[in-house]
Amino acid sequence: MTYTLAPTSPLHALPSVAGIYLNAFRVHAAQPAVISEQGTLTYAELARRSFQLARQLEAMGLKVGDGVCLLSGNRFEALLVVIACHLLGLRSTALHPLGSLADHLFTLEEVTAKAVIVDTQRFEARGRDYAQARFASGLQLQVLTMDAVDYGANVMAQSAQQSDAPVVRDIPSDAVSKLGFTGGTTGKPKGVVHTQRVSVTTITQQNQAWDWPRPASALRFLAVTPISHAAGSIISSVFSQGGAVCLQDKFTPQGFAHTVKALGITATFLVPTQIYDLLDADIAPADLASLQLVLYGAAPINVARITQAVQTFGPIFGQLYGQAESPMAISYLSKDAHDLRQPHRLASAGTVIAGNTVALLNEAGEPVPTGEIGEICVRGPLVMAGYFQRPEETDKVFRGDWLHTGDLARFDADGYLYLVDRAKDMVISGGFNVYPTEVENCLATHPAVSNSAVIGIPHARWGEAVVAVVVQKPGLSLDAQALEAELIALVHKDKGPVQTPKKVVFVDSIPVTNLGKMDKKAMRVTFAGLFD
């Protein structure tokens, strides 16, 4: 007998992220959901506050499919915003906490945001900028605040007056749950569309593949990187299991160790530079004894340093690999694979997570033999729906019915994946993505700059440091040291600290390939020892 099912049949539809939260609220009602040294919030209390905020946002006219942006540090109210957006089926976008005003305004307009919610403890001035831009440009944008200020509506205070009855809305399985942003070849960021399918798949794959503490009641996760990025996605997985979350807004080795010891933290996520900081600060292993899982990723890690970390703190590390277009969970290097008897494994990104199909393809779209280098291409429910309002870019990255990640890698005979390069010349510095074209466009606004190329150079602390290779306009005899300071200040002002070059190198001309394109590979070789 043959069965034919409609592709969109609700009988076989994935649950929404809201459904996962509602289930967690029911099943784990009495368990701790959010913990701190000041006290504990149960899942029942988290549910009540989330329902109230969702009702307040709905009362302000927000409905399924509307865009909402969030600018916040790691504070409890930000968790409420994220959950409330899921409950209502809003498409949320996290604004980069270190981004410039120009970048934020571009994002607000790009996603046609109906509201922006601001952590006014940390970003009071930026929130005021949004309010002024709204009136100056006629943006149909509500500026909502987490605290009492003299502009915008204090959405947290107002939500306290709302009913805390459960909020259950009909959210289509193909509805957009999140818009993240990545850089493009034109220098303009591209919105990455995550539907309910992508978000639910991310949660379920993280749950089944990573070495979480067991039982789930022992899971106490410390978010110490920005929840606007990887840590935020991990929190959804923690809540789905009934674990507890602790938020820390600033990372210092001593502060991190204190929180881990005081609250019995069992899991966390760190970028490589934070692992280096813990090692260099001589944090006592006994202070981190409760940790059972330290996830790391978002940037290349030095094999010698991760070896040192395992030797110092034990086999508690798990490496994740993904990208915005296929988030967090393409492959995973398990705790067991951090085996010092097989040190070559520490250079890998682990093995492919079940549920993903990964192939290494050559330029003709054909699989390469084991051991040879090809582009990482992915299929499966983890893959984004496409780029927001950019059909040509979507077609390009989905050619041949694969997601082309732009990352180059090789497989070994045991199925371990080894990244060897990142296409598009993206720089990853301190766990944050830096897109060279954006920095180059900024440098081009300086009257003394004729041409520039921005590259990433290995750095012991940051993984990669941003370096600008600059050609001055002819006929100018400016002092190189003074011009370097001006260019660094320019980028810092217009693009923020993450994208600011650590050094500026002046050359007579930018090297090019036979095709006339900037030869950034040659430049990375030339300046490889700049920070030695």
Query: Which pLDDT belongs to residue 422?
Result: 65
* CA pair distance 36, 61, nearest whole angstrom: 34
- DSSP type of residue 12: G
* CA pair distance 302, 529, nearest whole angstrom: 15
Query: Which pLDDT belongs to residue 2?
Result: 45
* CA pair distance 377, 361, nearest whole angstrom: 7
Query: Which pLDDT belongs to residue 315?
Result: 96
Query: Which pLDDT belongs to residue 515?
Result: 46
**pLDDT tens for residues 241-280?**
999 999 999 999 999 999 999 999 999 999 888 998 899 8
* C-beta separation of 388 from 188 below 8 A: no
Please name the helix (run of DSSP H) or strand (run of DSSP E) that holds residue 313, with its range, or none.
Answer: helix 303-313
Domains 14-313 and 427-526 share a fold: no
* CA pair distance 14, 233, nearest whole angstrom: 18
Answer CATH for 14-313 from 3.20.20.70, 3.60.20.10, 1.10.10.10, 3.40.50.12780: 3.40.50.12780
- DSSP type of residue 347: G
Residues 6+ apart with CB under 8 A from 136: none
Angle of helix 101-110 relative to helix 124-137, nearest 10 degrees? Answer: 50
Using alpha carbons only, give the angle 183, 184, 188 rounded to the nearest 5 degrees: 80
* CA pair distance 378, 376, nearest whole angstrom: 7
* C-beta separation of 239 from 21 below 8 A: yes
Domain ranges across the chain: 14-313, 427-526
pTM: 0.84
Q: Where are the beta strands (DSSP E) in 248-367?
A: 267-270, 293-296, 317-323, 326-333, 351-352, 357-361
Q: Check: CATH 3.30.300.30 for 427-526? A: yes
Query: Which pLDDT belongs to residue 185?
Result: 39
pLDDT < 50 regions, the chain: 1-5, 184-186, 514-515
